[in-house]
Amino acid sequence: MKKVMLVDDEIVIRENIRDCVDWEREGFVYCGDASDGELALPMIESLMPDILITDIKMPFLNGLELSAIVRKRMPDTKIIILSGHDEFEYARSALRIGIEEYCLKPISATDLVGVLRSVSLQIDKERSEKERLESLRLSETGSQSQSREKLLADICTGMITTAEALDTASALSINLMARYYAVVITDIRCSVSQSASLDYGIVEHAEERLRQKLSLGAETLEFRRSRTERVWILKHDSLQKLDAALDYVQNELKTNIEATAGCCLSLGIGNIHERLQHVHSSYLEADEDKHWRRLLQSAQNRWSLRTGDGAPDPSVYLDRQRYVEFLKIGSPADIGAVAKSLSEGLRKVDWRSDLYGFYMLNDLTLEVFQTAKSMYRNLDGAEASLQRFQQMIGDIASWEDASRYLAKLAEQFWQWRNGAADRYADMLEQAKTYILRNFGQDRLSLQDVADHVCVSASHLSKVFSQETGQTFIEFLTHARIRRAMELLQTTSDKSYEIAHQVGYSDAHYFSNLFKKVTGMTTKDFRKQGRTDAASADWEGATNEAGGMA
C-alpha cells in the first residue's frame, strides 16, 4: 500500500480529500497533511510518503518550491500538483521539476483516485525494474566471480592459450602480466571436534591471514579448488622478490598460520617460471609437491608414534642433502663408497631396539621420491615402488643392510633419470629438427613444435629447458641468427631481406637483436668478412641438432 500525503493551505480541501476517499479500500494509506510547504517539509522527511499531493499557491513555501526540494532529496517520491490556476507557465514549471500529474481544482474523489492509481502503477513498474536491474547486477557480479575463477583454473590446468587468457583477463579487468610466476596450493583444515559452520569460518579467517601474508611479498591471484584447498598464482617482475616470497612460504608461513588460526596448513610449492603459459607447469609441480609433503608428514607422524618422545642420539646422523645432491650429479660407479661414507652416521643404531634409524631412512626415501617426481614427470609405478622401499626399510637389521639400502635407492633414482633421458631424447631431436627446418616462418611458435611432437606446449617447454639448458625462444633465436650470419657472409642480400628469410617480419627488430647477440651491426659483420668468436659461440647447438639448416 502506497503512503499518500497532502499539502494545501485550504483546510476545507484538505478535509474533503481526506474524508471522501476510502484510502484503505483503494490500496493507499493517508499518512498526514500540512497547510504549507514549510510545515510539510519535515513531515515529508519523517513520513517518507510514496505520493505527495500539493497545491501551488501557498504561503511561506509554495508548491513548486516544495516540489523542487522533495524531488532533489527524495527522487522516488511521486508528486501530484493540484492547482486552481489553468496557466501554461505553472504547468511548464511543474514539468521542469518532474511532476507526475498536474490537476486542476476542483477534482472529484473518483478522478483523484484514478490519478492515484495511475501514479501507483508507475511506482510499481519502477520498483519492478529496479529489482530486475539489481538482480541482474548481482547475477553479473556472481558470473564475473565465476568467470575469474574459471580463467585462473584454466590457466593452471593448461586448458587455455596465452592469447585467450590475456583476452579474457582484459575483459574481466585482471592483470596477468609479470616476468615471473609461481603457484602455491594450500589446504587448510581444522580439528574434527569443531562444528562445520565454525570450521568454515576459521578456514576463511586463516585464508584471509594467508592472503595478507602473501601479498607482502608478491602479487597474488587465487581461486578455490575445493572446500579447503585454494590455489595461489604468485607473480612479480623481480625474481629475487618472488623467490623471497616462496622462501617465506616454505619456511615460515605454515608455522605462522597454524599458530594464529589454530588450523593445520598443508602446502604445495611450484617452481618459478618466466612465462604465463608455464604457470601450468608450476601448478603441476605444486600439486606433486603437496602430495609428497603429505606423505612425508604422514610418515613422520607414524614414526614419531613408534619412536616415542625420547630425544634422538645426536651422534646418529644421515646427511640427506649430500645424498640427494649425489643422486643428481654423481656417478653410479661411486655409489658403493658413497653409500658407506654416508651411512657412517648410522653405525651406532641398534636396529633391533632403536627405531630412530628406520625413521631417518624413511624420511630420506620420501625426499628422494619427491625429488624424482619434481625432476622426472610421470614416473611409472612410483607409489608401488615407494611401498616396496618402505618395506625394505623394515627388514634392515644392521649397518651393512642400511648401506646396501642407500645403494639400491640410488640405483632406483638413476633408473628414472636414464629412463627420462631416453624418453625425451627422441622427442627433443624431433623438436630441434622441426625448428631448424621451419625457423624461417615468422609465426613459428612453441605450440607449433609441441603439436609436431604430440605433447603439450607446457610439457615441451619444461623438458626443452631442463634437458638442453636453453629455452625454446633461445634455441629458435640461435638458429635464426646463425643462419643470418651465414647469409650475410655468402650473399649480397639486403639486411631486411635476410630478416625475412630467417623469420623476422620486422627488420628493425632483427637488426637490434643481431647486434645484441653478436655485438656487431649487420653492416659491420658483413664488412668483417669472416666468422669471428660470436659465430663460434653459436656453433654447438646446431651441431647437436644434426647440423640441419
Domains in the chain: boundaries: 2-128, 177-299, 311-422, 439-544
- Find the Cα–Cα–Cα–Cα dihedral 413, 414, 420, 425, rounded to 10°: 170
pTM summary value: 0.43
Sequential DSSP letters for 405-438: HHHHHHHHHHHHHHHHHHHHHHHHHHHHHHHHHH
Q: Percent of the chain beyond pLDDT 90?
A: 16
Which residues are within 8 A (CB) of 138 and not within 5 positions of it... i.e. 6 or more apart?
Answer: none
374-410 residues labelled b (16+ CB within 10 A) or e (exposed): eebbebeebeebbeebeebbeebeebeebbbbbeebb
Least confident of 15-19, 137-141, 161-165, 444-448: 137-141
Q: What is the mean pLDDT of residues 35-43?
A: 91
Q: Choose between 151 and 415: higher pLDDT.
A: 151
Each residue's pLDDT tens digit, 451-487: 888 877 777 777 787 677 678 888 898 899 989 999 9
Q: Report, as an integer, the average pLDDT of 1-8.
A: 92
Residue 195 reports pLDDT greater than 60: no
Is the pLDDT reported for residue 379 higher than 70?
no
Say what the pLDDT of residue 531 is: 47
Confidence check: pLDDT of 3 > 90? yes
Cα–Cα distance measured from residue 380 to residue 113, given in angstroms and rounded to the nearest whole number = 84
Which class for 472: exposed (0-12), middle (13-18), buried (19 or more C-beta within 10 A)?
Answer: buried
Provide the residue count of the chain.
Answer: 549
Q: What is the pLDDT of residue 465?
A: 75
Please determine, for residue 420, whether its predicted confidence score (pLDDT) is greater than 80: no
Burial 186-202 (b: 16+ CB within 10 A, else e): bbbbbeeeeeeeebeeb
The more confidently predicted of residues 367 and 193 is 367
- Across the range 439-445, mean pLDDT stands at 86
Q: What is the distance between the alpha carbons of residues 38 and 4, in angstroms, rounded to a whole number? A: 18
User: What is the average pLDDT value for the chain, to the nearest integer?
Assistant: 81
- pLDDT tens track for 331-373: 788 888 888 888 888 888 888 777 778 878 888 888 888 777 7
Which SS3 state, helix, strand or coil, does residue 545 take? coil
Cell 647437436 found at: 544
What pLDDT shows up at residue 541?
A: 42
DSSP label of 273: B
Q: Which one of 3.20.20.300, 3.40.50.2300, 3.30.70.360, 3.40.47.10 gives the CATH number of domain 2-128?
A: 3.40.50.2300
Give the best-scoring range by mean pLDDT among 138-152, 226-240, 421-435: 226-240
- Look at residue 382 in the predicted model and tell me its pLDDT: 77
pLDDT at 107 over 50: yes
d(C-alpha 13, C-alpha 434), whole Å: 95
377 pLDDT above the threshold of 60? no
Would you place residue 448 in the very low, low, confident or very high pLDDT band (cuts 50, 70, 90)? confident
**429 class by beta-carbon count within 10 Å (0-12 exposed, 13-18 middle, 19+ buried):** middle
**Distance between CA atoms of residues 131 and 528, nearest Å:** 77
Q: How confident is the model at residue 549 (pLDDT cuts 50, 70, 90)?
A: very low
pLDDT for the residue numbered 381: 73
Which are the contacts of 88, defined by CB distance < 8 A and separation ≥ 6?
none
CATH number, domain 177-299, options 3.10.450.30, 3.40.50.2300, 3.30.70.1130, 2.40.290.10: 3.30.70.1130
2-128 against 439-544: fold identical: no
CATH topology of domain 439-544: Arc Repressor Mutant, subunit A (1.10.10)
* 3-21: average pLDDT: 91
